[in-house]
Homo-oligomer: A and B are copies of this chain.
Protein backbone atom coordinates (compact mmCIF):
# COMPACT_ATOMS: atom_id res chain seq x y z
CA UNK A 1 0.00 0.00 0.00
CA UNK A 2 1.21 3.48 -0.93
CA UNK A 3 2.23 5.51 2.09
CA UNK A 4 0.00 8.58 2.32
CA UNK A 5 1.35 9.67 5.69
CA UNK A 6 3.69 12.09 3.96
CA UNK A 7 1.40 14.30 1.93
CA UNK A 8 1.58 13.52 -1.78
CA UNK A 9 0.06 16.31 -3.84
CA UNK A 10 -1.50 14.97 -7.04
CA UNK A 11 -0.17 16.47 -10.28
CA UNK A 12 -1.74 17.47 -13.58
CA UNK A 13 -0.34 14.25 -15.07
CA UNK A 14 -2.05 12.26 -12.31
CA UNK A 15 -5.36 13.87 -13.38
CA UNK A 16 -4.77 13.00 -17.03
CA UNK A 17 -3.84 9.42 -16.13
CA UNK A 18 -6.97 9.22 -13.98
CA UNK A 19 -9.12 10.32 -16.92
CA UNK A 20 -7.74 7.49 -19.10
CA UNK A 21 -8.17 4.97 -16.28
CA UNK A 22 -11.78 5.83 -15.40
CA UNK A 23 -13.15 6.56 -18.87
CA UNK A 24 -14.78 3.11 -19.30
CA UNK A 25 -16.51 3.44 -15.93
CA UNK A 26 -17.97 6.95 -16.03
CA UNK A 27 -20.31 9.08 -18.15
CA UNK A 28 -19.14 12.20 -19.94
CA UNK A 29 -22.03 14.14 -18.42
CA UNK A 30 -23.80 16.88 -20.39
CA UNK A 31 -23.56 20.65 -19.88
CA UNK A 32 -27.04 22.22 -19.69
CA UNK A 33 -28.16 25.84 -19.82
CA UNK A 34 -31.35 27.68 -18.88
CA UNK A 35 -32.28 31.03 -20.40
CA UNK A 36 -34.77 31.57 -17.56
CA UNK A 37 -32.15 31.10 -14.83
CA UNK A 38 -29.61 33.19 -16.75
CA UNK A 39 -32.06 36.08 -16.85
CA UNK A 40 -32.80 35.68 -13.16
CA UNK A 41 -29.11 35.58 -12.20
CA UNK A 42 -27.89 38.21 -14.67
CA UNK A 43 -25.10 35.98 -15.93
CA UNK A 44 -24.61 33.02 -18.30
CA UNK A 45 -24.47 29.71 -16.48
CA UNK A 46 -23.24 26.35 -17.76
CA UNK A 47 -24.36 23.48 -15.58
CA UNK A 48 -22.05 20.44 -15.65
CA UNK A 49 -24.56 17.76 -14.71
CA UNK A 50 -22.84 15.20 -12.51
CA UNK A 51 -26.28 14.28 -11.19
CA UNK A 52 -26.44 12.21 -14.40
CA UNK A 53 -23.12 10.54 -13.51
CA UNK A 54 -22.83 6.79 -12.81
CA UNK A 55 -23.96 6.11 -9.22
CA UNK A 56 -25.57 9.57 -9.32
CA UNK A 57 -22.64 11.83 -8.39
CA UNK A 58 -19.19 13.11 -9.38
CA UNK A 59 -17.65 11.01 -6.61
CA UNK A 60 -17.49 8.01 -8.92
CA UNK A 61 -14.60 9.74 -10.70
CA UNK A 62 -12.27 9.71 -7.70
CA UNK A 63 -13.51 6.37 -6.40
CA UNK A 64 -12.98 4.66 -9.76
CA UNK A 65 -9.51 6.13 -10.05
CA UNK A 66 -8.58 4.70 -6.65
CA UNK A 67 -10.15 1.28 -7.25
CA UNK A 68 -8.78 0.72 -10.75
CA UNK A 69 -5.32 1.98 -9.77
CA UNK A 70 -4.84 -0.76 -7.15
CA UNK A 71 -2.43 -3.66 -7.79
CA UNK A 72 -4.00 -7.12 -7.90
CA UNK A 73 -2.66 -7.90 -4.42
CA UNK A 74 -4.02 -4.69 -2.95
CA UNK A 75 -7.32 -5.11 -4.74
CA UNK A 76 -7.88 -8.60 -3.33
CA UNK A 77 -8.15 -7.13 0.20
CA UNK A 78 -10.83 -4.75 -1.01
CA UNK A 79 -11.42 -1.08 -0.24
CA UNK A 80 -12.94 0.71 2.74
CA UNK A 81 -14.21 4.19 3.47
CA UNK A 82 -16.42 6.42 5.57
CA UNK A 83 -18.85 8.72 3.78
CA UNK A 84 -22.06 10.68 4.20
CA UNK A 85 -23.37 8.93 1.14
CA UNK A 86 -22.21 9.55 -2.40
CA UNK A 87 -18.61 8.46 -1.94
CA UNK A 88 -19.93 5.26 -0.39
CA UNK A 89 -22.19 4.65 -3.38
CA UNK A 90 -19.43 5.42 -5.81
CA UNK A 91 -16.78 3.29 -4.16
CA UNK A 92 -19.26 0.39 -3.95
CA UNK A 93 -20.06 0.85 -7.63
CA UNK A 94 -16.39 0.93 -8.65
CA UNK A 95 -15.44 -2.00 -6.39
CA UNK A 96 -18.39 -3.93 -7.81
CA UNK A 97 -17.14 -3.34 -11.33
CA UNK A 98 -13.72 -4.63 -10.34
CA UNK A 99 -15.27 -7.48 -8.36
CA UNK A 100 -13.65 -6.67 -5.01
CA UNK A 101 -15.21 -6.07 -1.56
CA UNK A 102 -16.11 -2.55 -0.37
CA UNK A 103 -16.53 -1.76 3.35
CA UNK A 104 -18.45 1.40 4.22
CA UNK A 105 -18.83 3.22 7.54
CA UNK A 106 -21.91 5.44 7.28
CA UNK A 107 -23.85 7.64 9.72
CA UNK A 108 -26.98 5.84 10.93
CA UNK A 109 -28.88 9.06 10.04
CA UNK A 110 -27.96 8.91 6.33
CA UNK A 111 -30.99 8.77 4.00
CA UNK A 112 -32.44 5.26 3.72
CA UNK A 113 -32.32 5.59 -0.07
CA UNK A 114 -28.52 5.99 0.11
CA UNK A 115 -28.08 2.98 2.42
CA UNK A 116 -30.24 0.85 0.12
CA UNK A 117 -28.29 2.00 -2.91
CA UNK A 118 -24.91 1.20 -1.28
CA UNK A 119 -26.16 -2.29 -0.49
CA UNK A 120 -27.61 -2.50 -4.01
CA UNK A 121 -24.10 -2.00 -5.40
CA UNK A 122 -22.81 -4.71 -3.02
CA UNK A 123 -21.26 -2.42 -0.36
CA UNK A 124 -21.00 -3.73 3.21
CA UNK A 125 -22.22 -1.06 5.70
CA UNK A 126 -21.17 -0.52 9.33
CA UNK A 127 -23.13 2.33 10.95
CA UNK A 128 -21.70 5.12 13.15
CA UNK A 129 -23.07 8.21 14.90
CA UNK A 130 -23.54 11.34 12.74
CA UNK A 131 -20.37 13.11 13.92
CA UNK A 132 -16.89 13.27 12.47
CA UNK A 133 -15.38 11.88 15.67
CA UNK A 134 -17.64 8.81 15.83
CA UNK A 135 -17.18 8.16 12.14
CA UNK A 136 -13.39 8.10 12.44
CA UNK A 137 -13.44 5.88 15.51
CA UNK A 138 -15.73 3.23 13.99
CA UNK A 139 -13.80 3.34 10.76
CA UNK A 140 -10.45 2.64 12.43
CA UNK A 141 -11.92 -0.59 13.79
CA UNK A 142 -13.35 -1.75 10.44
CA UNK A 143 -10.13 -0.86 8.69
CA UNK A 144 -7.99 -2.80 11.14
CA UNK A 145 -10.23 -5.87 10.91
CA UNK A 146 -10.37 -6.06 7.10
CA UNK A 147 -6.97 -4.79 5.92
CA UNK A 148 -8.82 -3.10 3.04
CA UNK A 149 -7.26 -0.14 1.24
CA UNK A 150 -8.57 3.08 2.76
CA UNK A 151 -10.01 5.38 0.14
CA UNK A 152 -10.76 8.63 1.94
CA UNK A 153 -13.81 10.47 0.52
CA UNK A 154 -11.69 13.46 -0.41
CA UNK A 155 -8.31 13.76 1.34
CA UNK A 156 -6.64 11.27 -1.00
CA UNK A 157 -4.49 12.22 -4.01
CA UNK A 158 -6.10 9.50 -6.15
CA UNK A 159 -9.55 10.84 -5.37
CA UNK A 160 -8.61 14.46 -6.04
CA UNK A 161 -6.97 13.53 -9.35
CA UNK A 162 -10.18 11.72 -10.31
CA UNK A 163 -12.45 14.64 -9.37
CA UNK A 164 -10.24 16.91 -11.48
CA UNK A 165 -11.44 15.13 -14.62
CA UNK A 166 -14.82 16.87 -14.25
CA UNK A 167 -13.38 20.37 -14.76
CA UNK A 168 -11.34 19.04 -17.69
CA UNK A 169 -14.50 17.82 -19.43
CA UNK A 170 -16.27 21.08 -18.61
CA UNK A 171 -13.54 23.11 -20.34
CA UNK A 172 -13.63 20.78 -23.35
CA UNK A 173 -17.42 21.08 -23.57
CA UNK A 174 -17.35 24.86 -23.12
CA UNK A 175 -15.77 25.04 -26.58
CA UNK A 176 -19.32 24.51 -27.90
CA UNK A 177 -20.44 27.53 -25.89
CA UNK A 178 -17.81 29.99 -27.06
CA UNK A 179 -14.82 29.06 -24.89
CA UNK A 180 -13.72 29.08 -21.25
CA UNK A 181 -15.90 30.49 -18.48
CA UNK A 182 -14.88 33.43 -16.29
CA UNK A 183 -15.79 31.52 -13.12
CA UNK A 184 -16.31 27.97 -11.99
CA UNK A 185 -18.49 27.59 -8.90
CA UNK A 186 -18.63 24.28 -7.04
CA UNK A 187 -19.93 23.25 -3.63
CA UNK A 188 -17.39 22.71 -0.86
CA UNK A 189 -17.64 20.16 1.93
CA UNK A 190 -14.39 18.31 2.48
CA UNK A 191 -13.05 19.97 -0.64
CA UNK A 192 -12.49 17.03 -2.99
CA UNK A 193 -14.33 18.48 -5.99
CA UNK A 194 -12.93 21.96 -5.39
CA UNK A 195 -9.38 20.55 -5.09
CA UNK A 196 -9.72 18.58 -8.32
CA UNK A 197 -11.10 21.70 -9.99
CA UNK A 198 -8.10 23.70 -8.71
CA UNK A 199 -5.67 21.03 -9.91
CA UNK A 200 -7.10 21.07 -13.43
CA UNK A 201 -7.87 24.76 -13.91
CA UNK A 202 -4.59 26.01 -12.41
CA UNK A 203 -2.87 24.06 -15.20
CA UNK A 204 -5.30 24.41 -18.11
CA UNK A 205 -6.91 27.81 -17.53
CA UNK A 206 -5.35 29.66 -14.59
CA UNK A 207 -7.30 32.81 -15.46
CA UNK A 208 -10.61 31.15 -14.53
CA UNK A 209 -11.69 32.17 -11.01
CA UNK A 210 -12.67 29.29 -8.73
CA UNK A 211 -15.44 29.98 -6.21
CA UNK A 212 -16.34 27.51 -3.45
CA UNK A 213 -20.00 27.57 -2.37
CA UNK A 214 -20.89 26.53 1.16
CA UNK A 215 -23.93 26.39 3.46
CA UNK A 216 -23.83 29.20 6.05
CA UNK A 217 -24.65 26.58 8.68
CA UNK A 218 -21.54 24.53 7.80
CA UNK A 219 -19.21 27.39 6.91
CA UNK A 220 -15.96 25.92 8.18
CA UNK A 221 -14.30 26.29 4.77
CA UNK A 222 -15.26 29.99 4.58
CA UNK A 223 -13.88 30.56 8.08
CA UNK A 224 -10.75 28.53 7.28
CA UNK A 225 -10.24 30.56 4.10
CA UNK A 226 -10.43 33.86 6.01
CA UNK A 227 -8.37 32.62 8.97
CA UNK A 228 -5.62 31.11 6.83
CA UNK A 229 -5.73 27.73 8.57
CA UNK A 230 -8.12 24.79 8.79
CA UNK A 231 -11.09 25.24 11.14
CA UNK A 232 -13.10 22.04 11.58
CA UNK A 233 -16.59 21.73 13.11
CA UNK A 234 -17.91 18.50 14.57
CA UNK A 235 -21.34 17.58 13.17
CA UNK A 236 -22.74 20.81 11.71
CA UNK A 237 -26.41 20.66 10.59
CA UNK A 238 -27.47 21.60 7.07
CA UNK A 239 -29.95 20.45 4.43
CA UNK A 240 -26.92 20.14 2.12
CA UNK A 241 -25.94 16.87 3.76
CA UNK A 242 -23.02 16.20 1.44
CA UNK A 243 -21.23 19.30 2.74
CA UNK A 244 -20.96 18.67 6.48
CA UNK A 245 -17.39 17.36 6.54
CA UNK A 246 -14.31 19.52 7.22
CA UNK A 247 -11.28 20.33 5.09
CA UNK A 248 -8.14 18.18 5.53
CA UNK A 249 -4.47 18.91 4.78
CA UNK A 250 -4.52 17.94 1.11
CA UNK A 251 -7.74 19.75 0.18
CA UNK A 252 -6.68 22.76 2.27
CA UNK A 253 -3.51 22.90 0.16
CA UNK A 254 -5.62 23.44 -2.97
CA UNK A 255 -8.22 25.73 -1.38
CA UNK A 256 -5.50 27.96 0.09
CA UNK A 257 -3.59 28.10 -3.18
CA UNK A 258 -6.21 28.44 -5.88
CA UNK A 259 -9.68 29.39 -4.61
CA UNK A 260 -10.69 33.02 -5.22
CA UNK A 261 -13.43 33.12 -2.63
CA UNK A 262 -15.74 31.01 -0.48
CA UNK A 263 -19.36 32.23 -0.63
CA UNK A 264 -22.14 31.04 1.67
CA UNK A 265 -25.93 30.70 1.49
CA UNK A 266 -28.63 30.16 4.11
CA UNK A 267 -30.72 26.99 4.35
CA UNK A 268 -33.75 28.75 2.82
CA UNK A 269 -31.66 30.16 -0.03
CA UNK A 270 -30.34 26.65 -0.76
CA UNK A 271 -33.83 25.13 -0.73
CA UNK A 272 -35.20 27.91 -2.94
CA UNK A 273 -32.35 27.46 -5.44
CA UNK A 274 -32.89 23.70 -5.47
CA UNK A 275 -36.60 24.08 -6.16
CA UNK A 276 -35.89 26.62 -8.88
CA UNK A 277 -33.54 24.19 -10.66
CA UNK A 278 -36.00 21.30 -10.39
CA UNK A 279 -38.86 23.47 -11.66
CA UNK A 280 -37.08 25.21 -14.46
CA UNK A 281 -34.36 22.81 -15.61
CA UNK A 282 -36.44 19.66 -14.91
CA UNK A 283 -33.49 17.89 -13.34
CA UNK A 284 -33.30 16.05 -10.02
CA UNK A 285 -30.32 17.20 -7.96
CA UNK A 286 -29.27 17.26 -4.33
CA UNK A 287 -29.49 20.18 -1.91
CA UNK A 288 -25.66 20.31 -1.93
CA UNK A 289 -25.73 20.90 -5.68
CA UNK A 290 -28.01 23.92 -5.27
CA UNK A 291 -25.54 25.84 -3.10
CA UNK A 292 -23.64 27.28 -6.10
CA UNK A 293 -26.81 28.77 -7.65
CA UNK A 294 -27.87 30.06 -4.22
CA UNK A 295 -24.56 31.93 -3.84
CA UNK A 296 -24.66 33.22 -7.44
CA UNK A 297 -28.17 34.65 -6.93
CA UNK A 298 -27.00 36.19 -3.64
CA UNK A 299 -23.97 37.94 -5.16
CA UNK A 300 -25.24 39.48 -8.40
CA UNK A 301 -22.48 42.09 -8.55
CA UNK A 302 -19.75 39.46 -8.55
CA UNK A 303 -21.20 37.52 -11.46
CA UNK A 304 -23.00 40.22 -13.49
CA UNK A 305 -22.57 39.57 -17.22
CA UNK A 306 -20.02 36.81 -16.61
CA UNK A 307 -19.84 33.25 -17.96
CA UNK A 308 -20.09 30.87 -15.04
CA UNK A 309 -19.48 27.12 -14.98
CA UNK A 310 -21.55 25.46 -12.23
CA UNK A 311 -20.81 21.95 -11.01
CA UNK A 312 -24.06 20.09 -10.27
CA UNK A 313 -22.42 17.55 -8.01
CA UNK A 314 -25.08 14.86 -7.60
CA UNK A 315 -28.67 13.73 -7.84
CA UNK A 316 -29.13 11.24 -5.04
CA UNK A 317 -32.06 12.48 -2.99
CA UNK A 318 -34.63 10.67 -0.94
CA UNK A 319 -37.76 11.52 -2.96
CA UNK A 320 -39.92 10.86 0.08
CA UNK A 321 -38.15 13.62 2.07
CA UNK A 322 -37.75 16.69 -0.09
CA UNK A 323 -36.70 19.77 1.86
CA UNK A 324 -39.64 21.95 0.79
CA UNK A 325 -41.92 19.28 2.25
CA UNK A 326 -40.34 19.58 5.69
CA UNK A 327 -40.28 23.36 5.89
Chain B residues with CB under 8 Å of A325's CB are 320, 325
A282 CB contact (under 8 Å) in B51, B320, B322, B324: B51
Of A279, A281, A315, A325, most buried by chain B (CB within 10 Å of CB) is A279
Chain B residues with CB under 8 Å of A51's CB are 282
Q: Determine whether the beta carbon of B315 is less than 8 Å from that of A324.
A: no
Q: Determine whether the beta carbon of B282 is less than 8 Å from that of A319.
A: no
Chain B residues with CB under 8 Å of A30's CB are 30
A284 CB contact (under 8 Å) in B52, B56, B283, B320: B283
- Would you call A275 an interface residue if the criterion is a C-beta within 8 Å of the partner chain's C-beta atoms? yes
Min distance, Cβ A277 to any Cβ of chain B, angstroms: 9
Interface bin, chain A? 10 to 19
Q: Determine whether the beta carbon of A322 is less than 8 Å from that of B319.
A: yes
Output the nearest chain B residue to A325 by Cβ-Cβ distance.
B325
* A residues 54-75 in Cβ contact with B at 8 Å: 56
Min distance, Cβ A291 to any Cβ of chain B, angstroms: 18
- Would you call A212 an interface residue if the criterion is a C-beta within 8 Å of the partner chain's C-beta atoms? no
A285 CB contact (under 8 Å) in B113, B281, B282, B324: B282
Q: Mark A206-230, 1 if CB is under 8 A from B, else 0.
A: 0000000000000000000000000
- Would you call A278 an interface residue if the criterion is a C-beta within 8 Å of the partner chain's C-beta atoms? yes
Chain B residues with CB under 8 Å of A324's CB are 319-320
> Within the assembled complex, what's the spacing in Å between the Cα atoms of A52 and B47?
14
Min distance, Cβ A92 to any Cβ of chain B, angstroms: 15
Min distance, Cβ A93 to any Cβ of chain B, angstroms: 11
Query: Which 4 residue pairs spanning A and B have beta carbons closest together?
Result: A282-B315, A282-B284, A51-B282, A278-B284
Known: A51-B282, A282-B315, A283-B283. 10 other contacts (CB 8 A): A52-B282, A56-B282, A278-B319, A279-B284, A282-B284, A319-B322, A319-B324, A320-B324, A322-B322, A325-B325
